[in-house]
Amino acid sequence: MDFSIIIDNLPLLFKGLFLTLQLLLISLAIGFVMAIPLSIMAASKNPWLRLPVKAYIYVFRGTPLLIQVFIIYYGLSQFEWLRDSPLWNIFKSAYWCAVIAFALNTAAYTAEIFRGAILQTPKGELEAAEACGMSRWDQYLHIILPSALRRSIPMYGNEVIFMLHATVLAGVITLVDLFGAAKIINSRYYAPFESFISAGLFYLAITFTIVFIFKLAERHFLKHLKR
Amino acid sequence: MTEIFGGYLPMILKGMVLTIEVALLSLALSLFLGMLAASARLYGGPIARSIAGIYTTVIRGIPDLVLMMLIFFGGQVVVNKIGDKFGWGYIDIDPFVAGVITIGFIFGAYMGETFRGAIMAVSKGEIEAGHAYGMTNWQVFLHITFPSMVRHALPGFMNNWLVLVKTTALVSVIGLEDMVYSAKVAGDSLRQPFTFYVLVGTLFLLITAVSDLAMRWLERRYSIGESR
């Protein structure tokens, strides 16, 4: 094995690393913002709010992300009205298609995590809020969401790692993320071990960093639950 | 029906059979590796324990597609080198074999963690009671540890299976003619990529739904002894 290839191509790998992190952070941010209203709807007693969100979560969690990416990137070109509309500027770009697919996907998984946490809210806290005369809005803002989001931290950490690993699909639709960079190096030098092991080590390092950050977050935000 | 999908439905269904084959074979491999990893971590010596520990941690830290490429292209290099030495000439690595090995290898790590947790959850008292009745180690495993472990492992196992099924979609990337690959061929030739990818997505949902039913049945079967 000749790892000097990797040293020569470090700039390419770092460029890929940058795109991977960028895709990860943007789609996580959009997904997180979407997941909060979605999880409240999914935890609601009103079927008109709950069922559509449940269907959305079911479909996005039940199908491979690869299919979701393909439907958005390759599939949507089937519709002529879309190709003729200004929206096409977004949907013809592999970058935005990846971001949209990743964000919609992580929103579904995250909403399911938050929904579980919202349903775990102790009855007593809700009754106390009710007794204090809090509106439904205030209850969510000051009682339900703060504690539900805290309880979600460990599960959400897993979701973040899952999303990091999912970003390789960007490399499948022609983008040069970390995986795409490794693919280029492999095809240029026919060096599968060097390229994919290096990319694997990069991913491993990011995974460990994420685990570490979430450990710190758990220690800070879940102090009151420590046994 | 066949006219709706331009005569490509049989091809898609053939791809679906291949997808299910890949999923079931890699499931079998992952169960074997998972049992091995869990036993190594729980009962093994220091070396076996650290190898199993590294396996479960490293595999779960690297994206599946990177591992798949490593095994598919890397395996090709290794096979060619060996082939050169023995004068076999050029041998192609089968994407089916590479896919099954990679997915089995990855999910072996997840299964290992699931089994480890499940074995640790089996009550010690029950095992001691078994021994006190004069059961052999094998009888204790067969009648006490195993059924109780299955009960504890089922939710994690099911979760792993559902993720595994979705991961099989990746074998299309290394050229295996699975459901996703067939959808690409059909969608491209009819210029209806949306229709065919949505069709394949629906078929994945179907597999998930059937798995859910099977899971409910298994759960009922293995929780007979559970008091609720």
pLDDT tens, position by position, A166-208: 999 999 999 999 999 999 999 999 899 999 999 999 999 999 9
Chain A residue with minimum CA distance to B171: A66
Could you tell me if A99 and A22 are in contact, meaning their C-beta atoms sit under 8 angstroms apart? no
Give A203's contacts in chain B (Cβ within 8 Å).
61-63, 66
Chain A residue with minimum CA distance to B206: A62
Question: Cβ separation of B77 and A193 shorter than 8 Å?
Answer: yes
Give A183's contacts in chain B (Cβ within 8 Å).
69
| Token digits of residue A217 | 């977050």
A207 → closest Cβ in B61, B173, B204: B61
| Token digits of residue B214 | 């099977």
Determine, yes or no, domain membership for B228: no
Determine, yes or no, domain membership for B84: yes
What pLDDT score does B80 carry? 85
User: Is the predicted pLDDT of residue B50 greater than 70, yes or no?
Assistant: yes
B193 in contact with chain A, both atoms CB, cutoff 8 A = yes
Alpha carbon distance A154, B6 (integer Å): 47
B197 → closest Cβ in A67, A186, A197: A67
The SS3 call for residue B202 is helix
Tell me what the mean pLDDT of segment B34-42 comes to. Answer: 91
Q: What number of other Cβ atoms are within 10 A of residue B223's Cβ?
A: 12
Give B186's contacts in chain A (Cβ within 8 Å).
none
Q: In this predicted model, which residue has the larger pLDDT, B226 or B128?
A: B128
ipTM confidence score: 0.90
Give A65's contacts in chain B (Cβ within 8 Å).
166
Mean pLDDT across chain B: 89
Question: Cβ separation of A164 and B63 shorter than 8 Å?
Answer: yes
Mean pLDDT across chain A: 93
User: How far is the alpha carbon of B205 from chain A, nearest alpha carbon, in Å?
Assistant: 6
Question: Cβ separation of A71 and B198 shorter than 8 Å?
Answer: yes
Which of A2, A70, A113 is best to mutate for the B interface (most B CBs within 10 A)? A70
B201 → closest Cβ in A71, A164, A192: A71
Contacts of B70 (CB under 8 A, 6+ apart): A192, A193, A196, A197, A200
**Which pLDDT band, with edges at 50, 70 and 90, does B226 fall under?**
low
User: Is the predicted pLDDT of residue A2 greater than 60, yes or no?
Assistant: yes
Q: What share of chain B is helix, strand, coil (3-state, %, to 5)?
A: 85, 0, 15
Tell me what the mean pLDDT of segment A29-54 comes to. Answer: 96
Read out DSSP for B52-98? HHHHHHHHHHS-HHHHHHHHHHHHHHHHHHHHHHHT----PPPHHHH
Determine, yes or no, domain membership for B75: yes
| Token digits of residue B210 | 């059937």
Going through B45-185 in order, the beta strands assigned E by DSSP cover none
User: Is the predicted pLDDT of residue B2 greater than 70, yes or no?
Assistant: no
* pLDDT tens sequence across B133-192: 999 988 998 898 888 888 889 989 999 999 999 999 999 998 899 999 999 999 999 989
Burial state string for A104-127 with b = 16 or more CB within 10 A and e = fewer than 16: bbbbbbbbbbbbbbbeebeeeeee
Residues of A with CB under 8 A from a CB of B: 58-59, 62-68, 70-71, 74-79, 161, 164-169, 171-172, 179, 182-183, 186, 190, 192-193, 196-197, 199-200, 203-204, 207-208
User: Is the predicted pLDDT of residue B225 greater than 70, yes or no?
Assistant: no
What pLDDT score does B220 carry? 84
Which domain covers residue A160, as residue numbers?
4-225
Contacts of B210 (CB under 8 A, 6+ apart): none
Which domain covers residue B143, as residue numbers?
9-222
Q: In this predicted model, which residue has the larger pLDDT, A124 or B224?
A: A124
Number of compact structural domains in chain B = 1
What pLDDT score does A226 carry? 64
* pLDDT tens sequence across A58-95: 999 999 999 999 999 999 988 989 989 999 999 999 99
Give B187's contacts in chain A (Cβ within 8 Å).
74-75
Alpha carbon distance B52, B58 (integer Å): 10
Question: Cβ separation of A203 and B69 shorter than 8 Å?
Answer: no
CATH number at residue A166: 1.10.3720.10
B62 in contact with chain A, both atoms CB, cutoff 8 A = yes
Tell me what the mean pLDDT of segment B7-26 comes to. Answer: 93
B70 in contact with chain A, both atoms CB, cutoff 8 A = yes
Question: Cβ separation of B197 and A183 shorter than 8 Å?
Answer: no
Number of compact structural domains in chain A = 1
Give A76's contacts in chain B (Cβ within 8 Å).
194
Alpha carbon distance B45, B116 (integer Å): 16
B76 in contact with chain A, both atoms CB, cutoff 8 A = yes
* pLDDT tens sequence across B70-89: 989 998 888 888 888 887 77
Q: What share of chain A is helix, strand, coil (3-state, %, to 5)?
A: 85, 0, 15
A204 → closest Cβ in B61, B184, B198: B61
- Dihedral sign for Cα A69, A99, A214, A225, please: negative
Chain A residue with minimum CA distance to B193: A75
Q: pLDDT > 90: what percent of chain B?
A: 55
CATH number at residue B88: 1.10.3720.10
What pLDDT score does B130 carry? 92
Give B166's contacts in chain A (Cβ within 8 Å).
63-65
Chain B residue with minimum CA distance to A178: B66
| Token digits of residue B228 | 């609720």
Determine, yes or no, domain membership for B4: no
Give A165's contacts in chain B (Cβ within 8 Å).
62-64
